[in-house]
Amino acid sequence: MAHDYDLLIKQAEALLSVETDAVANAANLCAMLYHQLEGVNWVGFYFLKQEELVLGPFSGQPACTRIALGKGVCGTAFVEKQTKVVDDVHNFAGHIACDAASNSEIVVPFFTEKLSGVFDIDSPELARFSDLEKVFFERILALYLESLN
């Protein structure tokens, strides 16, 4: 892996330290990661609104705007309250194909008093996301949530 995740975490900390707005920080974080990470074709947020996940800030191709809880990788990760790493989305029962170019995906759910939803990252590569990326994206999400206080 060519990336220095420690450096990206420092960049995210700096980016998120100057603002507390959830939408602004989500938008900037998605743009930063989309342009800094190799082998990624979509980075974005879905926020829980009236018992469904609704598209938030993202970078990449246009995406599905609403995802039912328990559906697809995003809805499943949210309901199960755990990060989902899917090596081949085409083998994931109920996968929602928003972008036909996506082949693997990682989804990190989050739950706070103010905001709940999922942080979703897609790749055109099969098996793009390892345990290292799982730890990295969970840390990035934690920084995002800390920035909202």
89: nearest Cα among 47, 117, 123? 123
User: Is a pLDDT exceeding 60 seen at residue 1?
Assistant: no
Provide the pLDDT for residue 3. 61
Percentage of the chain modeled with pLDDT above 90: 89
CA 144 to CA 57: how far, in whole Å?
Answer: 13
Mean pLDDT of 25-46: 97
Place of tokens 């499943």: 76
Provide the pLDDT for residue 96. 74
Provide the pLDDT for residue 100. 76
Provide the pLDDT for residue 5. 94
Specify the higher pLDDT residue, 1 or 26.
26
55: nearest Cα among 86, 23, 81, 77? 23
User: Is a pLDDT exceeding 90 seen at residue 97?
Assistant: no
Which residue(s) pair with 104 in the sheet? Answer: 123
Kindly report whether the global pTM for this prediction surpasses the value 0.85: yes
The superfamily (CATH) of domain 5-147 is GAF domain (3.30.450.40)
Q: Tell me the domain boundaries of the chain.
A: 5-147
Provide the pLDDT for residue 149. 78
Provide the pLDDT for residue 2. 42
Mean pLDDT of 59-86: 96
